[in-house]
Chain A
């Protein structure tokens, strides 16, 4: 019996141009993937990642728009700079870099998010569960930023 990894998907609300893809993400996401929709990847506070990681997420995917296609001009670039730096830090303290995946989607992409998620899941399954940083359970500690 193999364990299905728990994945968190932070999705910028603009990055899926095709309505069908957005609908899939909104309604048909596999049970082991949690959707956290944000107005822009630039909106993602590193604390979000920290909370996810500390609470036992096996992998985190951040999907946003291509650099020149950001709805808020530079949100995706700022996000990439801030979150990549933060993931370096997480890597340093034991949360492998391969568990965090940044995805840039083109306006014209269609059916890409499904494939990317599947590939990511396979990658995380191969890595196995992420235990080292899962220092707390949600029931006992409230959200740091709540």
Chain B
């Protein structure tokens, strides 16, 4: 662990990123952790309070290995609840930015573009709440050099709004959750006999 005033220390680097500046004010009350539903619904190790603590104590390795940085969607439910008025997702995002800078990648799925069918209409670009999609000129097999949608892995939070917006079913989240499975189970249920009472 490096010293507290070392400008290379994690806490100092987090502070220097806009949004991360308030981190030292956290008194670890835990309000943010219980306001956020990720721990109870998705990932039991999720804990924004602990992540802030790791940053305060300059524990780079622990912070960068913490799943919290990849799962926070910056919904900011916790922000108005924090008694210290800390912009928690700002701090988390700052740590995430530093993790990405040091070469870490999200272990979670991100949206994937099917470049063979993408028509570069830009609907997904407009709807993505994280500004993760842009249209890029690209050489695509069989199609030549054409504009297609491209997803920034560091920004995509896997919400799937792009998949709902895409009119050519060219962008999708394949793992964990997929359209085919949802529709298949839906259709097979609807195909069953009506329940009578």
The reply to whether chain A is a binding partner of chain B is yes
**Known contacts A36-B186, A73-B75: does B37 contact A42 (CB below 8 Å)?**
no
**Known contacts A14-B37, A31-B195, A52-B190: does B159 contact A72 (CB below 8 Å)?**
yes
Total contacts A-B at CB 8 Å: 127
Closest to A46 in B: B164
A78 B127 Cβ-Cβ under 8 A: yes
B186 A45 Cβ-Cβ under 8 A: no
CB distance from A8 to the nearest CB of B (A): 7
CB distance from A41 to the nearest CB of B (A): 9
Q: Is B187 an interface residue (CB 8 A)?
A: yes
A11-39 vs B, Cβ < 8 Å mask (1 yes, 0 no): 00110010100100000000110101011
Please tell me the size bucket of the interface on A: 35 or more
- In Å, the complex CA distance between A4 and B195 comes to 6
B40 A19 Cβ-Cβ under 8 A: yes
Closest to B126 in A: A78
Residues of A within 8 A of B (CB): 1-4, 6, 8, 13-14, 17, 19, 22, 31-32, 34, 36, 38-40, 42-48, 51-52, 55-57, 69-75, 78-79, 82, 107, 137-139, 143-146
